[in-house]
Amino acid sequence: MTTYKRVGGAKINQNAWCLESVIARDHVVPQRYFDEAPLGIVENFRDLLSRDVFSEGDSRALYDYVMTRKAEMSDDFLAMLALWLQDELKHYEGLRRTYHCISGTSYETMTRLFSERIHDIKPIKMLLEDEFTILVAITFDEMGSVYSYRRDLREYYCHFGPEIQKMGRHLVKDEGMHFNNAAELLLSYHAHRLDEVQPLLENISKLEKTLKKYHKAFFLDHAQEQHRFPPHFNQVVIQVILARLGVGDRPNPTALKDLWQWTPQEHTIVPLREPLNLAAPV
């Protein structure tokens, strides 16, 4: 179910779903899913989750940083960001549950690991200049997440039963809404700066390529996984954003499909256990 909220003049959407009814804290993945998963999938999924769990939780650090400058931000932006944080923290808890039942890692261990993280805002300062640049950074990051979670859903989540699959689908849907909400605010309140969007996105993409690693401040967490994505990934994401803002053409469908179906040359294509309809309601 989608909840629509009117934030000032912009329509802000939230995908209203209940974590408890998707995956319980003590959920157990039946052994047959582990036995039947294609070779290497269990290990790779554990590895992937060991990063994604915590990068979702890093949303708190970014939010807290923005709050230290809240006097500079508009009320509508802050209202949108509060809804965004609710979702991201739900992703954190949902992925903790997923990681727990895929890897056996205890909740206590995850809590300890998270508390030891050092969130370094400095390397991404360029994205945080003002409300406008933060919104542009959100569009870039969230659209990247939509396609990477789509890819993960196809490669990993779909192999471990309906609960895990549903979790993956909600991630894709929520990140899409976060993208859309940021775009709405840009169009409603920052339309006079739309000509700055493309150069800023190009600079964000360049920064991501030079960062090499993720600095645990939520944005640009794909810096650590660039090998999994096609070389033109960022360029196509930028085109999607510009088209959404009405200042560019949509990329062609093949380029879009490549974002989540492309595989590196030496990579074995992971067979699908069952056809997955990503357009199906979650």
Nearest approach in angstroms of CB 123 to Fe ion is 20
Nearer of residues 76 and 175 to Fe ion, judged by Cβ: 175
What's the closest the beta carbon of residue 88 comes to Fe ion, in angstroms?
A: 5
Q: How many residues does the chain have?
A: 282
90 contributes a contact to Fe ion by CB under 5 A: no
Using the rule CB under 5 A, which residue among 90, 91, 170, 244 binds Fe ion? 91
Show the site string, 36-65: x = touches Fe ion by CB under 5 A, - = not: --------------------x---------
| Residues that contact Fe ion, how many (by CB under 5 A) | 6
DSSP labels, 28-76:
---HHHHHHSPTTHHHHHHHHHHHHHHHHHTHHHHHHHHHHTGGGS-HH
Q: Which is nearer to Fe ion, 155 or 175 (CB)?
A: 175
Report the distance separating Cα 112 and Cα 98, nearest Å.
Answer: 17
Cβ atoms of 261 and 270 closer than 8 Å: no
Q: Are 109 and 35 in contact (CB under 8 A)?
A: no
Output the smallest distance, CB 131 to Fe ion, in A.
Answer: 17
CB contact set of 243 (below 8 Å; sequence gap of 6+)? 249, 250, 251
Q: Is 178 in the site for Fe ion (CB under 5 A)?
A: yes
Question: Nearer to Fe ion by C-beta: 15 or 239?
Answer: 15
Residue 7, SS3 per DSSP = strand
Check residue 96 for interaction with Fe ion (CB under 5 A). Answer: no
What tokens were used for 135? 């919104």
Q: Which is nearer to Fe ion, 160 or 218 (CB)?
A: 218
Q: State the nearest-atom distance from the C-beta of 149 to Fe ion, in Å.
A: 8
Residue ranges that bind Fe ion, judged by CB under 5 A = 56, 88, 91, 142, 175, 178
